[in-house]
Chain A
Amino acid sequence: MSSDYEYSDDDGDYYDEDELMDQDDQVANHSADSAPSEEEMDIDAFDLPTKGKQKSYHIESTTLSKHDLERAMDENIEYIAGIFGIEPEVASILLRHFEWNKEKLTEKYVDNPTGINAEAGVSAKPNPPRSTTSGSSRSTRRTTPASSRSKKSLSVEGPFVCPICFDDTQTRTLALACSHKFCTECWTAYATNKIRSEGEFKTTCMAEECTLVATDSFIQSVLATDLPTFDRFKELLARHFVSCNRKLKFCPYPECAQTVSCPAAASKFALTTIIPIVNCGDEKHKFCFACPIEDDHRPLICSVSKLWTQKCRDDSETANWIKSNTKECSKCQSTIEKDGGCNHMTCKKCKYEFCWVCMGPWSEHGTAWYSCNRFDEKESVEARDAQSKSRASLERYLHYYNRWANHEQSAKLSMDLYAKTEKKMEEMQLTSALTWIEVQFMKKAVDEVFRCRMTLKWTYAMAYYLQKGNEKELFEDNQRDLEKAVEDLSELLEQPIDTETIGALRQKVTDKTVYVQKRNEIVLEDSAQGYLEGRWKWNTPVEGFD
């Protein structure tokens, strides 16, 4: 209840979604290109003592609000400012230059403070910039020899003419420590362009080849009348900080301003044994800490999930064909459209009952459901020994893909179903004796079905890559038990609701929900344990496995 409201006051409302998504991309790229190595950054404050009795599949994480994040940045800044006796603003610029790696900065700074100050733009470079009017200033690519010219060039007598806008009526000017003077308006336009158009927090002096970096208070003063842009500046700083720290990630949900800390997922190696599905404190904002796959892709680890999504993209043509929402009744050939999450289909025309997934008669599924989750490779190969091998492998893929896509689609449809049901529940609340709390069983059940279908979906991707053998069979047994339970619950949810039977239905649905939840936990827990024990073997090379 509370988590929904805790952070809403400091949501960054002023920028639109696209802008934020772009930022996310940049951050993602950044961390992929220049990801700091594991030991480089250490923000001890976020390390939690591992609690004793958590489920193996549950990965510990903490949430940081915008303020928590700023505090964490400040702690780093104060630490550096303290040990070197420098201004916090200077420490901040140095830290950014070193991608927030305190240790590296400390080490280098002790050696050569003057050099580091110049390199980071804290103090001017020893050789002053050449005058811009001198003709052959071709480019900074050429390192010009230190021509020892004094700094007087811009201290003009008479009326000041801003070298940017050529306006001689400007009276308000500003300069960084390098004394390169420009009118305030140009500074504002320049900083705004950096921050808004380039998404850049580092604003250097406007003079050619002057590398001095503007301090935060300087930026604040030139943006005094444009708070949203200054806030954006702070946002960029925070994003940079997060991208430099492997333990941190922004919640990818567009409207969200939370950051998640997940030390367990900070090393690449750890990702062969855990799947860091976390949330930002809001249960709905669930995401994988380590990869760009939006889904909760448990029980399949990140690297194999990526293989699978890549494969699905490559085979999208076949996938499209499979994905289609309609199928033909295998008895009367009339077209049947799937309209709920349940796989138990009844042809409207001939009343034939069948399973949407395997198209086989439903009657067999009560006892022999396994025939629908397990691709009998041996039989399939034998039956089609005339067919080429590639055909067999395509069919094998389609077997898993079909089920994978089906659970995804069913999960979506069950949400639609819920929307319909919710309306009905509201009415019932008015006409029956049930309270608001009592009608929540429906929501709980639908949420659980959704969650489990996500698990099931990824169990099919996992089964596709699992090496044949006992372990895979046990995995598929668990998968089958969960699938059967989910289909049963789904079917219950599609039953008509009326006042007389609601009490009984409620009991049934509630019991089944508990059962389904248990089955899901078994799948997740067993697969998580399997990773820790090194039990899972793949039929394709996977990084970190042998």
Chain B
Amino acid sequence: MDARLRRVNKEITDCKNDKASNVQIELIDNSPFHLKGTFQGPEDTPYEGGCFDVDIVIPEAYPFQPVKMKFITKVYHPNVSSASGAICLDILKDAWSPVLTLKSTLISLQSLLCSPEPNDPQDAEVAKHYMTSKQSFNDTARYWTHIYAGGPEVSGAVKGSKVTQDDAEQDEIAMAGLEKAHVDQFESLGFPRSKVIEVLRRLNYRGANVAKINEDRVVEELLK
């Protein structure tokens, strides 16, 4: 039997048989080379309670080439693209070793959620948010976990913005990790709300940064 197929089959079976494991691997279609991995968000992180799906593609030269993984579930994290789910993690690139497995790689992803590396970001805007205000970042990440990963409802306060009870309705402001007061302030100048959110997010109008960014600068950006 083809060594790659034997190895992948064995990995899938081992993972199924390991009841203690909190990592699951299943087939997406009939091919064992395109899989879906799932794990729980780690405890004591804003991802706690969420369930995260990962798209897994086994390359031709596996395990001598790294497996390709990206998040299916949207994640608010400096090393994960908030748009595409692409992941910046060294073992998926140069630091890959053929002894690593799908399971160990998924566990590495899980622990990536515990310890972001904002200095090697995949999503620069999210990384900036993380660097500026850990608290505000955590709120947003928790909110995303709730909306996208089925995490618990955000208790009480994403600061300054009221979270509606309806799960289906997403609060744009909370999604962007901004404060309602700030958005209202510029919206009242006559700019459309979505544009205001877009600009404030890009300028990282959060936490201590707010004091550093001149309001004229925001207006200037809004006028562009």
- Residues of chain A touching chain B, judged by Cβ–Cβ distance below 8 Å, are 132-133, 135-141, 163-167, 185-186, 189-190, 193-194, 197, 206-210
Contacts of B74-114 to chain A: CB distance below 8 A: 89-91, 95, 97-101, 104, 107-108, 111-112
* Contact, CB under 8 Å: A164 / B99: yes
Q: A139-B91, A139-B108, A185-B3 are in contact. Are A208 and B99 (CB under 8 A)?
A: yes
* Contact, CB under 8 Å: A139 / B90: yes
CA distance A137 to B90 in the complex (A): 12
Contact with A along B49-84 (1 / 0, CB 8 A): 000000000000101110000000000000000000
10 more CB-based (< 8 A) A-B contacts, given A136-B107, A140-B90, A193-B64: A132-B104, A137-B100, A138-B112, A139-B91, A139-B95, A164-B98, A197-B65, A206-B97, A208-B100, A209-B97
* Contact, CB under 8 Å: A139 / B6: no
Residues on the B chain within 8 Å of A209, using CB: 97
CA distance A197 to B95 in the complex (A): 16
CA distance A135 to B20 in the complex (A): 12
Residues on the A chain within 8 Å of B65, using CB: 193, 197
* Contact, CB under 8 Å: A140 / B91: yes
Interface membership of B10, Cβ < 8 A: yes
The residue in chain A whose Cβ has the minimal distance to the Cβ of B21 is A135
Residues on the A chain within 8 Å of B111, using CB: 136, 138
Interface membership of B115, Cβ < 8 A: yes
Most buried by B among A139, A163, A185: A139
- Residues of chain B touching chain A, judged by Cβ–Cβ distance below 8 Å, are 3, 6-7, 10-11, 61, 63-65, 89-91, 95, 97-101, 104, 107-108, 111-112, 115, 117, 120
The residue in chain A whose Cβ has the minimal distance to the Cβ of B65 is A193
Contact of A165 among B7, B61, B89 (CB under 8 A): B7
CA distance A138 to B109 in the complex (A): 7
Q: A137-B108, A185-B3 are in contact. Are A190 and B64 (CB under 8 A)?
A: yes
CA distance A307 to B91 in the complex (A): 42
Minimum CB–CB distance for B4 against chain A, Å:
9
* Contact, CB under 8 Å: A206 / B61: no
Minimum CB–CB distance for A94 against chain B, Å:
22
* Contact, CB under 8 Å: B7 / A164: yes
CA distance A147 to B65 in the complex (A): 28
The residue in chain B whose Cβ has the minimal distance to the Cβ of A163 is B99
Minimum CB–CB distance for A195 against chain B, Å:
11
* Contact, CB under 8 Å: B98 / A138: no
The residue in chain B whose Cβ has the minimal distance to the Cβ of A207 is B99
Minimum CB–CB distance for A449 against chain B, Å:
52
CA distance A136 to B39 in the complex (A): 14
* Contact, CB under 8 Å: B98 / A186: yes
* Contact, CB under 8 Å: B108 / A206: no
- 7 A-B pairs with least C-beta separation: A193-B64, A208-B97, A138-B111, A140-B95, A166-B10, A138-B108, A165-B3
* Contact, CB under 8 Å: A164 / B63: yes
* Contact, CB under 8 Å: A167 / B97: no
Minimum CB–CB distance for B100 against chain A, Å:
6
CA distance A137 to B108 in the complex (A): 6
Q: A132-B100, A166-B10, A208-B97 are in contact. Are A141 and B90 (CB under 8 A)?
A: yes
Residues on the B chain within 8 Å of A206, using CB: 97-99
CA distance A135 to B64 in the complex (A): 21
Residues on the A chain within 8 Å of B107, using CB: 135-138
CA distance A165 to B89 in the complex (A): 24
* Contact, CB under 8 Å: B115 / A138: yes
CA distance A208 to B107 in the complex (A): 15
Residues on the B chain within 8 Å of A165, using CB: 3, 6-7
A-B contact list, 5 entries, CB within 8 Å: A139-B108, A165-B6, A166-B6, A167-B6, A185-B3
Residues on the B chain within 8 Å of A185, using CB: 3
Residues on the B chain within 8 Å of A194, using CB: 64
Residues on the A chain within 8 Å of B97, using CB: 132, 206-210
* Contact, CB under 8 Å: A197 / B99: no
Residues on the A chain within 8 Å of B101, using CB: 132
CA distance A351 to B96 in the complex (A): 73
Minimum CB–CB distance for A340 against chain B, Å:
53
CA distance A72 to B98 in the complex (A): 35
Residues on the B chain within 8 Å of A207, using CB: 97, 99
